[in-house]
Amino acid sequence: VHTKSFHIHIKYYNQTTEWLLSRTRHRPKIAVVCGSGLGLLADGVTNKEIFPYADIPNFPVSTVPGHEGCLVFGILKGKSCVFMQGRFHLYEGYSLCKVRVYCMVSGPNFETIAEARMLQVLGCDSVGMSTVPEVTVAKHCGLRVFGLSLITNKVSLDYSREEKVNHEEVLEISKMRAEHVQMMLNTLIARSDQLDEGLNVN
C-alpha cells in the first residue's frame, strides 16, 4: 500500500521538458503509454534513446512490476515516437494535476447563489462570461488554442454570507495580477517555437 500522495504539478513541466528536449533529437508526435507487461511494444523502435524515469527531473517513478520505468524515444515505421514503458496508477498514490472546467454564463449579471450551486453540481470549477465563444470559433477554424483565465474572485455559494462579487473588485484584482499574467504570456510566446517544432517534425 502506498500512502504517499504524489502530485505531478504543472509548474514543474517546463523543467522536465527542457531536460528531455536537450537530450534527445527526437520530436515525436506519437506517444504510446505501455500497460503492464507491454514495455516490449517499444522493442521494434530504432535510433533508441532511453531515459529511466528515475533520471528525469520531476518525473515520477514506476512502482508496479511489469512497468520498467523508462521513456524510450525512437523511430517506428518511419515516425518519431516516444514510449512510456510503465505508467502510473491512482492506487500508487499518483494523481495528475486536475483538469479544471471553465463554464461561461452569458452575463452581464454575476451568477446567483442558486446558479453557482447548480454549476458546482455540474462539475464546473470556474465561471466567467467570455472565452468560450472565442475558443469555439478558433477550434472551428482549426486553430490551436491556449486559454488563460485569471481567477479574480470566489464565487459565493453560501446564502448566509454577505460577500458579493462586483466588477470593481474584478478590475482591482486584475490590475494586481496583470504583471504576473504578462510574465506567463511572455514565457509562453517565447517558447511557442518549441511547441511548433514538436508539432512539425515527423
Ligand X SMILES: O=P(O)(O)O[C@@H]1C[C@H](O)[C@@H](CO)O1
Rounded Cα distance, 168 and 199, in Å: 41
Is residue 167 near ligand X by the rule CB under 6 A?
Answer: yes
Is residue 180 near ligand X by the rule CB under 6 A?
Answer: no
Residue 24 Rama label (left phi>0; alpha psi -120 to 50; beta):
beta
Is residue 129 near ligand HPA by the rule CB under 6 A?
Answer: yes
Nearer to ligand HPA, 76 or 155 (CB): 155
Q: Which of ligand HPA, ligand X, none does residue 120 bind (CB under 5 to 8 Å by kind)?
A: none
Answer for the pair 67, 39: CB distance below 8 angstroms, yes or no. Answer: yes
Answer for the pair 100, 125: CB distance below 8 angstroms, yes or no. Answer: yes
Which residue in 17, 63, 153, 194 binds ligand HPA (CB under 6 A)?
A: 153
Which residue in 105, 113, 132, 135 binds ligand HPA (CB under 6 A)?
A: 105
Q: Mention every residue, 6+ apart, whose C-beta is less than 8 A from residue 142.
A: none
Answer for the pair 188, 179: CB distance below 8 angstroms, yes or no. Answer: no
By Cβ distance, which residue is nearest to ligand HPA?
A: 127
157: phi then psi, degrees, rounded to nearest 5: -120, 5
State the minimum distance, in angstroms, from the CB of residue 183 to ligand HPA. Answer: 21
State the minimum distance, in angstroms, from the CB of residue 113 to ligand X. Answer: 17
Q: Which stretch binds ligand HPA (CB under 6 A): 18-26, 38-46, 104-112, 137-145?
A: 104-112
| Residue 110 CA: distances (Å) to CA of 10, 38, 106, 154, 199 | 30, 51, 9, 12, 39
Q: Mention every residue, 6+ apart, whose C-beta is less than 8 A from residue 121.
A: none
Q: How many residues bind ligand X (CB under 6 A)?
A: 6
- Give me 155's grid cell: 464565487
State the minimum distance, in angstroms, from the CB of residue 98 to ligand HPA. Answer: 20
- Find, among 57, 95, 51, 102, the residue nearest to 73 by Cα: 51
Pattern 95-134, ligand X, x by CB under 6 A: ------------x--------------------xxx----
Q: Which of ligand HPA, ligand X, none does residue 111 bind (CB under 5 to 8 Å by kind)?
A: ligand HPA
Is residue 38 near ligand X by the rule CB under 6 A?
Answer: no
Instruction: List residues binding ligand HPA (CB under 6 A).
Output: 105, 110-111, 127-129, 152-153, 155, 165, 170
